[in-house]
A and B are shown apart, each in its own frame.
Chain A
Amino acid sequence: MNTSSRTIPDRLRSPLEQRLKSWETLLLLVAIGIFVANSLASPYFLNAWNLSDATFNFTEKAMIAFAMALLIISGEIDLSVASIIALASTAMGAAVQMGVGTPGLVLIGLGVGLLCGAFNGVLVTRFGLPSIVVTIGTMSLFRGISYIVLGDQAFRGYPASFSWFGQGYVWWVISFEFVLFAIIAVIYAVLLHKTNFGRAVYAIGNNATGAMFSGIRVQRVKFTLFLLTGLMSGIAAICLTARLGSTRPSIATGWELEIVTMVVLGGVSILGGSGTIVGVVIAAFVMGLVTFGLGLLNVPGIVMSIVIGALLIGVIALPRLWSMWRAR
């Protein structure tokens, strides 16, 4: 996974040309295209409140996608994120029944997320197990605990101040979740692109052995990445639980694949070693805009999944087909 062969370019492109041909530019064009198409296709699309509502379709998933991007760049993956949401939400719901207030609930949500992330991290880094296997296991384990606790019941009765995390607005149509999404995006962009830690993540993804011999503590970096993914799942659990106002064990079912789709659509190589946070941000908007736009036309969800799948394959395959055609 982390020993993929890389071709050395025989001619370096000018920075401007490189930027124009980059993944992010292509994705941005797609996003703009979808935005224009949506505005033309539905008279309801260009409305501040409607667009604000649409952001809820992706903000929680995108928060996890940033951490997932780092994890995938380092050559690992975490498929248990949606189950961590379920477990964290169940823990918060149980705490509500015992009379815990909003600050306590937030701490519990973050704490459970961190613990789950640490559990994944230990299994992968201490015992050297493949992360895809470990997290497929914990995907069933974490959600299984929620099902044992809740069965077909639901936890409700969250305090009104708690619901602000999922339903509150900071200013006019700008929701708390959207602000949080933006702040987290900036933090992750700085972490990945401007710090030694970020460089280490790329190095590990490109060549873990080489990174180790360069003095990077590979296992420690990977463990931190699992912790971060768990933490982000905890934050997403707080937002989603607050938005729904109740917890059922089926909460966030199937989100892990949507999050991975978002990351890959954002130009992060599934083999590790490359990708940017800007790409993931644009991919989040693309997915949010597509689902909301199709929703406005009352396109059934089954067709929507087909469109997302086609988009993913199209956006990934087109540049490769183009370069193959050019290379002839």
Chain B
Amino acid sequence: MKRRTFTKLTASLSLAAGLFGTTALAEDNMRIALVVKALGIGFFEAAAEGAEEAAQELGGVEIIYTGPTDTTAEGQIEVINSLIAQGVDAIAVSANDTDALVPTLKKAMQRGITVISWDSGVAEDGRQMHLNPSSNALIGNMIIKLAADHLPEGGDVAVLSATTTSTNQNIWIEEMNKVMGDYPGINVVATVYGDDLADKSYREATGLMQSHPDLDAIIAPTSVGIVAAAQAVVDAGKVGEVNVTGLGLPSEMAGAIENGASQSFAIWNPIDLGYSAAMIAHALASGAATAAPGSEISIGRVGTITLDETSSAAMADPFVYDASNIDQFKSIF
């Protein structure tokens, strides 16, 4: 960032000195803007790192990592307006507001700029495609796979969910039940609800271990539940007997991985997300791919995505975090 500003300044100084023709320094590069909800958030800094990785792999691509100071739609609009003015080739945005950005992003598309959203989406007419970090089916499969991977002989598992009415968790558990046939020997013996409250989740997890003494794993597809369950396992002295897994944040789960209460857990990988957003933006802006329902776009090392009828796509399986990589990610988010 600093160097870029400096380059611009030198360019302008030489222009002022009458040396015309030096302003087109970086104009041959394709410029992809990665617009985030706000600057200074670890998750997005990691995404920017991924986008830079994609730029290096592609070559001739310049990533402009930018965003407002706080998470407001107005701030993002100001940022996008200045990107439109610079005539960037593509804008990849994680939106603070599904609808408020639409008029501005429409204007960007009218001026020939490729617009995609990632992580947090924009309404359909404000972008060409949207990249979700994962999909419900992939998450449902992942949470049972995480438990099964450490139970080669089969075993009893229980689910610690959020509330009975939590839409996301209910869909994921439903998707998990659909693929249970792929994991023979694994029995789900109970599903309990910790209401996404730390103390209630802790009590429910303790109760599970008392009523099912042979329990082998607790699956908590919620970042609150998984931390509480890991603590309950430690306090019950069942580390090594009961494996806690599910969806959690590396920063909150680092302790549970270190003390062995959790072998592994999953969540999206922000580096891959930024990498994929940059790859897709490049593919669309260069014309190598088109954004239409059903079209396939290749995203380098992450694989290939297929757009659904709303031109959205799921990037990949949730990323698995264990003792081998927790140290790298625990400081990020």
Contacts and interface: CB of A to CB of B under 8 A. Distances in A.
Interface string B88-124: 0000000001111011000000000000000000000
A252 B86 CA distance: 25
B23 interface: yes
Given A56-B81, A291-B78, A302-B39, A43 B4 contact: no
B12 interface: yes
A244 B103 CA distance: 7
Interface in A220-257: 240, 243-246, 248, 250-254
B58 interface: no
A58 to B, nearest CB: 10
Contacts of B69: 300-302, 304-305
Select the residue from B39, B72, B100 with max chain A CB neighbours within 10 A: B100
A255 B316 CA distance: 40
A155 to B, nearest CB: 9
B288 interface: no
Interface string A242-277: 011110101111100000000000000000000000
A154 B39 contact: no
Interface stretch (B60-68, B135-143, B169-177): B60-68
Interface string B12-49: 11011000000100000000000000011000000000
B87 to A, nearest CB: 7
B78 A295 contact: yes
A40 B134 CA distance: 45
Nearest to A301: B69
Contacts of A301: 39, 67-69, 75, 79
Contacts of B4: 297-298
A257 to B, nearest CB: 12
B70 A246 contact: no
Given A54-B81, A57-B78, A295-B78, A245 B100 contact: yes
A298 B74 contact: no
Interface in B281-310: none
Interface string A47-84: 10110011011000000000000000000000000000
Contacts of A212: none
Contacts of A47: 85
Contact of A253 (B8, B67, B70): B70
A246 B100 contact: yes
Contacts of B77: 56, 243-244
Contact of A296 (B40, B74, B86): B86
Interface in A31-50: 40-45, 47, 49-50
B236 interface: no
A300 B8 contact: no
Given A40-B12, A248-B73, A252-B74, A156 B99 contact: yes
Nearest to A244: B100
Given A43-B23, A154-B99, A244-B73, A297 B5 contact: yes
Nearest to A60: B74
A254 B13 CA distance: 36
A248 B82 contact: no
Nearest to A292: B82
A53 B84 contact: yes
Contacts of A246: 97-100
A44 to B, nearest CB: 5
Nearest to B27: A43
Contacts, number: 104
B161 to A, nearest CB: 21
Nearest to A291: B78
A56 B73 CA distance: 14
A95 to B, nearest CB: 17
Contacts of A41: 8-9, 12
A182 interface: no
A41 B68 CA distance: 21
A29 interface: no
Given A245-B100, A246-B99, A295 B81 contact: yes
A248 B72 CA distance: 10
Given A54-B81, A154-B98, A298 B64 contact: yes
A50 B85 contact: yes
A280 B227 CA distance: 54
A97 B193 CA distance: 35
A300 B16 CA distance: 25
A252 B78 CA distance: 13
Nearest to B74: A252
B296 to A, nearest CB: 32
A56 B74 CA distance: 10
Contacts of A207: none
Contacts of A251: 73-74
A50 B70 CA distance: 24
A44 B85 CA distance: 6
B8 to A, nearest CB: 6
B103 A245 contact: yes
A28 to B, nearest CB: 22
B40 A302 contact: yes
B74 to A, nearest CB: 7
A292 B83 CA distance: 10
A299 interface: yes
10 contacts: A41-B9, A53-B81, A167-B103, A240-B74, A246-B99, A253-B72, A295-B78, A297-B8, A300-B39, A301-B68
Given A154-B99, A246-B98, A298-B66, 10 more contacts: A41-B9, A45-B85, A246-B97, A253-B70, A254-B72, A292-B85, A295-B79, A295-B82, A296-B86, A305-B69
Closest 10 pairs (CB-CB, A-B):
A295-B82, A301-B69, A246-B99, A50-B85, A244-B100, A40-B12, A53-B81, A41-B12, A156-B99, A246-B100
